[in-house]
Amino acid sequence: MTIEQILSNYKNIAVYGMSTNPAKAAYHVPKYMLGNGYNVIPINPMADEIDGRKCYHNLADVPDEIDILDVFRPSEQCLAVVEEAVQRKAAHGDIKVIWLQLGIVSDEAAALAAKHNIEFVQDKCIKVEHQRI
């Protein structure tokens, strides 16, 4: 599946590691996506609300369907995030795409996602890709 197809077909984005700090990309990138017709679901264990949206402490707590899991975590934490996403997909049947933001790379996470038939994008900014298409 191409990036254009992902961004055209999927509208529910859970943002793992969404920040409460407006100066950070982990805040303004999801805010941009929200302003462009996407449903953004914040995930951050340190916050109950971000920018007026209910924030969940982990993937398991999210009641909504998740199409894209957009990850703002260090590369070395991504395998654990994908393990959590695989468990979530097994339980809920959602999470079609895992997207690691610009500068975040994990080949182990990519291999695990592929093993569970989850599309995987890494080292790309979802905002930049959206603007490009």
User: How would residue 118 be classed by pLDDT, with cut points 50, 70 and 90?
Assistant: very high
Whole-number pLDDT of residue 63 = 96
| Average pLDDT of every residue of the chain | 97
pLDDT band at 58, cuts 50/70/90? very high
pLDDT > 70 fraction of the chain, expressed in percent and rounded: 100
56: left (phi over 0), alpha (psi -120 to 50) or beta: beta
Residue 132's DSSP bridge partners are none
Instruction: Output the pLDDT for position 128.
Output: 97
For the chain, which domains are there? 3-73+83-118 (3.40.50.720)
